[in-house]
Amino acid sequence: MAVRDIIMDPADKALRRKAESVDRVDKNVLKLLEDMTETLQNAGGNGLAAPQIGVLSRLIIVKKEMKYIKLINPVLVKSAGEQISFEGCLSLPGIYGVIRRPEFAVIGALDTEGKPFEIKAVRHLAAAFVHEIDHLDGILMIDKAVRIISGG
């Protein structure tokens, strides 16, 4: 495993392009997910998407309690309700956004064995999944924020 550099320039092309679907869960994909997990752990964040380390593949890691959930080709299957979410992003140090997010979300993805699964999330966790999936489409939280707070 290795800690990768996180891109912290919102204008960087890797953060602004649409990432590609993973068609085979092979050794390289698993290695990448391990590196992403270690990078996220090291940075102390709640989520990380592959484009943030310059890889345009549809891979995300989301921290749930003490576990790191690895999702391959994640999609928002269902969402309901609304919450006002207060978010940071490892690619936008010192910037916080106030964003409308769904209160409840069902995410579908492949696991590390290439098997489909679904995960339900509410509140902070629902917002975290949607935030990370947005990264795969080149969308940053500042694009959706109703208010941006910088500093700190």
> Cβ-closest residue to Ni ion?
89
State in angstroms the smallest separation of the CB of 118 from Ni ion. 22
Binding flags for Ni ion, 72-111, as an x/- string (CB under 5 A): -----------------x----------------------
3-state secondary structure 22-37: CCCCCHHHHHHHHHHH
Minimum distance between the CB of residue 53 and Ni ion, rounded to whole angstroms?
A: 12
Q: Kindly state the helix (H) or strand (E) to which residue 38 belongs, with its residue range.
A: helix 27-43
**Residue with smaller CB distance to Ni ion, 25 or 54:** 54
Q: Does 130 bind Ni ion (CB under 5 A)?
A: no
Distance CA 60, CA 46 (A): 11
Q: Indicate the residue among 25 and 76 with the shorter CB distance to Ni ion.
A: 76
Q: Is 38 a known active-site residue?
A: no
In this structure, the dihedral spanned by the alpha carbons of residues 42, 135, 53 and 48, taken in order and rounded to 10 degrees, is 20
- Contact (Cβ atoms closer than 8 angstroms) between residue 14 and residue 51: yes
- CA distances (Å), 27 to each of 6, 37, 72, 127, in order? 22, 15, 13, 30
Report the site for Ni ion in 37-56 (rule: CB under 5 A): none
Q: Tell me which residues touch Ni ion (CB under 5 A).
A: 89
Residues annotated catalytic, as ranges: 132
